[in-house]
Structure 1
Amino acid sequence: MIAHPEDMPAAFRAAWMARDASMLGSLFAEDADFVNVVGLWWQKREQIEKAHAYGFGRIFTDSILRVGRTRLRRMGDVAVVHARFTLHGQRDPDGEPLGVRRTVMTFVMSRQDGGWLCVAAQNTDIHEGAETMTASPDGLTPRDYRKN
């Protein structure tokens, strides 16, 4: 639990940098939802912790997460926090380092007794210069229709 909803991006980063899935999970309500960048939808704190523990141990072992621009929108006992993140040091399945990723995360925060918890989060990859995705038999490709 955190004192203010706008503290969520920094608290998420602190848990990430500590590679502490329990610490990260403590930021979420028991019945929270988390949708990752490829649409995996984890329901409940336990699933969110388990998924992040796996990622910390295999995919993001040496990664560095930085918080960029954030925006807070309060609506009484609920708040929406958007935050840009930059991720360095993700590894491929063979352990080789990959390039830099930029994302926008949306956190829906709920006031609880004693602080705020996240009830829903979604992470979206940023594809610079693209405005949509197009589907083909080979998968999704970021596209910008303005260039045609």
Structure 2
Amino acid sequence: MDDDIEVIRELFDRYTELWIRHEMREWGELFTEDCDFITHRGVWWQSREENVRGHEHVPESVLAQKKNYSQTVVEVQPLGPGVMLVHTEWVWPDHVLPGAAVGEDRRGLVTAVLVQRSGRWWIRAAQNTRLNGLDDFAPRHVTPVDEA
């Protein structure tokens, strides 16, 4: 099992490398043909082709910033024979959206289910969740009256 965990860590190193270089066709080869990918905005792509196409079309200003992106595997858990649950954490410092005046430090988690087929690990499903996105229900700091 330790060998599988090391192979999966290497797979996500490759994932990150290809993501940064924006080589989305090759990146897509890490996924099964019937993969599911849910973006941080809640878009659900239900095949490798949809996943790749959805990630290919990115504004040039964002592509230039990909060099700032990093991702780390934080946990790998076996779910059964040939099935692993993987959690990664990503950071994207000073990410500037098209038209924005300033950048923001983004971070998030990817939860992925990997399957082993023909002696190889493949990403079957992944969900990307932003950790510091806007949340209307997040508690707001309120200054107590006696501190004001």
Shorter-normalised TM-score: what interval?
A: 0.7 to 0.9
Using the alignment, how far apart are the partners of 1:112 and 1:88 within structure 2?
A: 36
Q: Which residue of 2 aligns with 1:101?
A: 106
Instruction: Classify the secondary structure of the residue corresponding to 2:13.
Output: helix
Counterpart of 2:123 in structure 1: which amino acid? C
Using the alignment, how far apart are the partners of 1:35 and 1:125 within structure 2?
A: 12
Q: State yes or no: 1:39 paired with 2:12.
A: no
Deviation of 1:17 (Å): 1.4
Between 51-60 and 118-127, report the one with greater CA deviation.
51-60
Counterpart of 1:54 in structure 2: which amino acid? H
Q: Which residue of 2 aligns with 1:144?
A: 139
Q: TM-score, normalised by structure 1?
A: 0.78
Structure 1 residues 9, 97: closer, same or farther in 2, change over 3 A?
farther
**Which of 54, 72, 75 is the aligned partner of 1:51?**
54
Paired residues of 2:94 and 2:106 also in contact (CA < 8 A): no
Higher helix share: 2
Counterpart of 1:73 in structure 2: which amino acid? Q
Structure 1 residues 56, 28: closer, same or farther in 2, change over 3 A?
farther
Q: Which runs of 5+ in 2 are unaligned?
A: 1-5, 143-148
Deviation of 1:95 (Å): 7.0
Number of aligned residue pairs: give it.
Answer: 136
Higher strand share: 1
Instruction: Classify the secondary structure of the residue corresponding to 1:16.
Output: helix
Larger radius of gyration: 2
Deviation of 1:36 (Å): 0.6
Q: Which runs of 5+ in 1 are unaligned?
A: 134-139
Using the alignment, how far apart are the partners of 1:56 and 1:49 within structure 2?
A: 15
Using the alignment, how far apart are the partners of 1:95 and 1:20 within structure 2?
A: 25
Instruction: Classify the secondary structure of the residue corresponding to 1:93.
Output: coil
